[in-house]
């Protein structure tokens, strides 16, 4: 159970609600939006929702494993964003658009 | 951490050194001078990159040798994060061979597309390091980091022909679905940590056994399962597979269809058997449902394809279905041995025959990069133009069908045998019937190659040579040998699976 400086405990389920809400915003964003940048933002939102979960649980269990995990997740999210932006750049040079539903040369 | 723990990651360190050496050596290669008819220098060509290929091949060979040398020990290292046992050695050797053959296929192909560069080799090596660590991981943190190392390298490999729209498109589809899936999986892992307070597979199993299962555990098992199901391209999470396989460079497709898939199955077995033995029946049902959908979708969509690369993509979906049926049988009964070992045999057989089939496609594409587009009509009369390619491709396709005497038959035999032992006879019957259906789309290609007249003549530059020949010889030999004398492989599989479950 984490406490704020005033000593009021924050129940662990509050973290869960926040992270579930953020995760759903991200997931819905990926499934409905068609601009590659918005989809990348949504992806970051999903990863960071997980980070809130991990930090909340880390406080709840009184061990540091969750917070260690967050450091790895953040590094990986950064790497993923870098690769995503690189792919977006290469794509824009060829197609002059970032709307992913216009990439449909392969079908069947 | 003890100094002796380093021994467990020696194969990966060897690979890492090879990858870094490639990146270091590449800038210092001298461009070849282009000479006109009189012998005067008139321009510069890209440098000869044979040295880089040699470093990569040496790295993989050394990694496999080191992995075999350190085997025999069974312990966990780095405070329970990583295992050194026959299981991890089995997969390190398999991934090392996959990487080795991918390198051999790639060199001719990249040369003929004028994109022969060191980064390609380095990225494949990084992906293989990720795969090695995935199979050896005994902790969700290490598993996730290794999984992402493999995935991020794969996204870049799919985009390797960055000036080509198809390669871009393939990579953006792979990137979006892949990272969406890994975010879902990560959410599942965070719930496991929330439920148990630990991330170690063994610790998770102990905590769940003490506290009893709960809805949250089942939910997180399903989320992790979905994340990995994307990677093995199980239906209904297979939508990206045909597009990515078609658009990515062919050697990369060969790697995608074997390496990451095998790695995801290794994690499926290791993580689910070790961390969630209490929920085994539930994840068994999850996999059975997934496998039925996957087998049906893969085989039925395979029937209507006219592009062979796409057809092989659907074929790889169907094969994931047979493997998932094996996993379902593992969860369904308390005795995980028969089906689990069947899955390992199948993964080995599948690695060789699929690398071989895509290797032949890469060879054909390297011969005429502009005209050949893998459509069925370009295979007409191939037997006369290039008999060896036709014979080898027929061998691999027959093996994928599961004709006795080939590796594919042995794999199917052990997996379906395990499913029958788990009292899931209907599932085995469905699998066998659908493999009979698959014979239609595999044998159609063989008929085109041997009995059809070509509509237009494609020009072919040269007979199979060098690395490509070595790769195809290796895969063909393995496909036949596993088909005729599977006992060596079986012994290795028994030891590997035994060290996981003891």
Per-domain boundaries in chain A: 2-102
Helix axes of B308-332 and B407-421: crossing angle, nearest 10 degrees: 30
ipTM: 0.93
Distance of residue B431 Cα from the nearest chain A Cα, in angstroms: 24
H/E stretch holding B77 reads strand B75-77
Residue B408 belongs to some domain of the structure: yes
According to the model, what pLDDT value does residue B459 have? 66
Indicate yes or no: CB of B197 within 8 angstroms of CB of A36: no
The per-residue pLDDT for range B181-215, each reduced to its tens digit, is 999 999 999 999 999 999 999 999 999 988 877 88
Distance of residue A6 Cα from the nearest chain B Cα, in angstroms: 26
Cα-based angle B15, B16, B17 (whole degrees, multiple of 5): 90
- Between positions 78 and 107 of A, the ones with CB within 8 A of B are 79-80, 83-84, 86-88, 90-91, 94-95, 100, 103, 105-106
Answer yes or no: is pLDDT of A106 > 80.
no
Q: Is A35 helix (H, G, I), strand (E, B) or coil?
A: strand
Distance of residue A5 Cα from the nearest chain B Cα, in angstroms: 24
Q: Please state the length of chain B.
A: 502
**Residues B268-275, mean pLDDT to the nearest whole number:** 92
Distance of residue A47 Cα from the nearest chain B Cα, in angstroms: 6
- Residue B470: other Cβ atoms inside 10 A: 16
The pair phi, psi for residue B371, each rounded to 5°, is -90, -45
Distance of residue B146 Cα from the nearest chain A Cα, in angstroms: 10
Task: List chain A residues with CB under 8 Å of B184.
Answer: 27, 46
Nearest alpha carbon to residue B395 among B314, B482, B322: B482
Residue B239 belongs to some domain of the structure: no
Does the CB of B337 have a partner CB in chain A at under 8 Å? no
Residue B495 belongs to some domain of the structure: yes
Answer yes or no: is pLDDT of B259 > 70.
yes
Residue B192 belongs to some domain of the structure: no
According to the model, what pLDDT value does residue B476 have? 95
Residue B206 belongs to some domain of the structure: no
According to the model, what pLDDT value does residue B40 have? 75
* DSSP letter (8 states) at residue B9: G
Does the CB of B139 have a partner CB in chain A at under 8 Å? no
Does the CB of A108 have a partner CB in chain B at under 8 Å? yes
Query: What percentage of residues in chain B have a pLDDT greater than 90?
Result: 68
**Residues B154, B445, B239, B218: is their CA dihedral positive or negative?**
negative
- Residue B455: other Cβ atoms inside 10 A: 9
Indicate yes or no: CB of A69 within 8 angstroms of CB of B193: yes
According to the model, what pLDDT value does residue B76 have? 87
Closest by Cβ to B141, choosing from A16, A69, A84 = A69
Sequence-distant (6+) residues with CB within 8 A of B232 are B261, B264, B265, B268, B320, B323, B324
Q: Which two tokens stand for residue A5?
A: 């400086």
Q: Which two tokens stand for residue B49?
A: 């990159």
Closest by Cβ to A108, choosing from B152, B183, B242 = B242
Ramachandran assignment for B62, one of left (phi > 0), alpha (psi -120 to 50 degrees), beta (any other): alpha
Number of domains in chain B: 1
Distance of CA B272 to the CA centre of its chain: 20
Q: Do residues B383 and B310 make contact, with C-beta atoms less than 8 angstroms apart?
A: no
The per-residue pLDDT for range B415-451, each reduced to its tens digit, is 999 999 999 999 999 999 999 999 999 999 999 999 9
Q: Which residue of B has its CA nearest to A106?
A: B243
Sequence-distant (6+) residues with CB within 8 A of B422 are B329, B330, B332, B333, B335, B338, B339
Residue B484 belongs to some domain of the structure: yes
* DSSP letter (8 states) at residue B41: E
A vs B, Cβ pairs < 8 A, gives 121
Does the CB of A15 have a partner CB in chain B at under 8 Å? no
What is the C-alpha to C-alpha distance for residues B106 and B315, in angstroms, rounded to an integer?
A: 22
Q: Do residues B427 and B419 make contact, with C-beta atoms less than 8 angstroms apart?
A: yes
Nearest alpha carbon to residue B84 among B1, B3, B10: B10
Adjacent-strand bridge partners of B200:
B139
Distances (CA, A) of B442 to B118, B308, B438: 35, 9, 6
Query: What percentage of residues in chain A have a pLDDT greater than 90?
Result: 63
Nearest alpha carbon to residue B209 among B277, B125, B116: B277
Residue B119 belongs to some domain of the structure: yes
What is the C-alpha to C-alpha distance for residues B279 and B276, in angstroms, rounded to an integer?
A: 5
Residue B207 belongs to some domain of the structure: no
Where is average pLDDT lowest: A37-46, B355-364, B384-393, B455-464? B455-464
According to the model, what pLDDT value does residue B225 have? 94
What domain range is B312 assigned to? 3-30+44-164+250-501
CB neighbour class for B43 (10 Å; exposed up to 12, middle 13-18, buried from 19): exposed
Q: Which residue of A has its CA nearest to B153?
A: A83
Q: Do residues B439 and B399 make contact, with C-beta atoms less than 8 angstroms apart?
A: no
Answer yes or no: is pLDDT of A6 > 70.
no
Does the CB of A57 have a partner CB in chain B at under 8 Å? yes
The per-residue pLDDT for range B74-129, each reduced to its tens digit, is 888 888 899 999 999 999 999 999 999 999 999 888 888 877 788 899 999 999 99
Adjacent-strand bridge partners of B76:
B83
Q: Which two tokens stand for residue B470?
A: 């070595």
- Between positions 309 and 328 of B, the ones with CB within 8 A of A are 310
What is the C-alpha to C-alpha distance for residues B229 and B144, in angstroms, rounded to an integer?
A: 15
According to the model, what pLDDT value does residue B324 have? 95
According to the model, what pLDDT value does residue B118 have? 84
Task: List chain A residues with CB under 8 Å of B170.
Answer: 106
CATH of A2-102, one of 2.40.30.10, 1.10.10.10, 3.30.930.10, 1.10.287.3510: 1.10.287.3510
The per-residue pLDDT for range B13-37, each reduced to its tens digit, is 999 999 999 999 988 888 777 777 7
Sequence-distant (6+) residues with CB within 8 A of B272 are B221, B225, B280, B283, B327, B331
Task: List chain A residues with CB under 8 Å of B243.
Answer: 106
């Amino acid at each position: 159970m984490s406490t704020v400086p005033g000593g009021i405990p924050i129940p662990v389920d509050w973290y869960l609600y926040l992270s579930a809400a953020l995760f759903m915003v991200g997931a819905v964003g990926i499934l409905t939006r068609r601009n590659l940048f918005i989809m990348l933002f949504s992806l970051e939102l999903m990863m960071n929702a997980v980070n809130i979960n991990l930090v909340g649980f880390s406080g709840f269990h009184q061990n540091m494993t969750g917070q260690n995990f967050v450091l790895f997740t953040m590094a990986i999210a950064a790497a993923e964003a870098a690769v995503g932006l690189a792919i977006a750049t290469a794509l824009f040079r060829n197609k002059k658009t970032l709307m992913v539903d216009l990439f449909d040369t392969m079908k069947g | 951490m003890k100094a002796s723990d380093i021994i467990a990651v020696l194969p990966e360190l060897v690979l890492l050194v090879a990858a870094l050496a490639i990146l270091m050596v590449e800038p210092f290669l001298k461009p070849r001078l282009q000479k006109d008819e009189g012998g005067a220098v008139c321009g510069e060509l890209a440098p000869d990159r044979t040295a880089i290929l040699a470093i990569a091949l040496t790295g993989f060979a050394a990694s496999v040798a080191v992995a075999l040398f350190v085997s025999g020990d069974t312990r966990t290292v780095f405070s329970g994060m990583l295992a050194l046992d026959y299981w991890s050695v089995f997969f390190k050797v398999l991934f090392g061979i996959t990487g080795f053959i991918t390198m051999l296929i790639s060199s001719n192909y990249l040369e003929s597309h004028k994109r022969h560069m060191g980064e390609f080799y380095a990225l494949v090596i990084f992906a293989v390091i990720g795969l090695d660590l995935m199979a050896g991981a005994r902790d969700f943190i290490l598993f996730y980091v290794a999984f992402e190392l493999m995935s991020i390298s794969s996204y870049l490999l799919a985009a390797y022909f960055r000036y080509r729209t198809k390669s871009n498109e393939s990579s953006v589809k792979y990137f979006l679905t892949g990272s969406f899936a890994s975010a879902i999986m990560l959410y599942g892992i965070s719930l496991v940590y929330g439920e148990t307070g630990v991330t170690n597979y063994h610790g998770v199993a102990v905590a769940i056994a003490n506290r009893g299962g709960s809805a949250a555990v089942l939910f997180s098992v399903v989320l992790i399962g979905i994340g990995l199901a994307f990677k093995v391209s199980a239906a209904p999470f297979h939508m990206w597979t045909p597009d990515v396989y078609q658009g990515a460079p062919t050697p990369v497709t060969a790697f995608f269809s074997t390496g990451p898939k095998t790695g995801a199955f290794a994690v499926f077995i290791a993580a689910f058997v070790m961390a969630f033995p209490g929920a085994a029946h539930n994840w068994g049902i999850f996999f059975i449902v997934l496998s039925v959908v996957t087998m049906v979708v893969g085989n039925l969509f395979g029937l209507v394809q006219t592009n062979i690369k796409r057809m092989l993509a659907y074929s790889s979906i169907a094969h994931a279905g047979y493997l998932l049926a094996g996993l379902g049988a593992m969860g369904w009964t308390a005795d995980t041995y028969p089906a689990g070992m069947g899955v390992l045999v199948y993964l080995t057989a599948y690695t060789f025959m699929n690398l071989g089939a895509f290797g032949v496609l890469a060879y054909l594409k390297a011969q005429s990069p502009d005209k050949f587009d893998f459509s069925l009509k370009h295979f007409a009369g191939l037997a006369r133009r290039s008999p060896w390619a036709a014979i080898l491709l027929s061998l691999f396709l027959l093996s994928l069908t599961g004709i006795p005497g080939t590796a594919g038959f042995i794999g199917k035999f052990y997996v379906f045998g395990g499913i029958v032992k788990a009292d899931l006879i209907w599932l085995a019957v469905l699998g066998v019937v659908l493999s009979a259906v698959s014979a239609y789309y595999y044998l159609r290609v063989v008929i085109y190659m041997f009995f059809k007249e070509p509509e237009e003549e494609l020009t072919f530059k040269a007979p199979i040579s060098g690395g490509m020949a070595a790769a195809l010889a290796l895969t063909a030999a393995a496909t036949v040998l596993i088909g005729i004398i599977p006992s060596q492989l079986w012994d290795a599989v028994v030891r590997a699976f035994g060290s996981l479950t003891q």
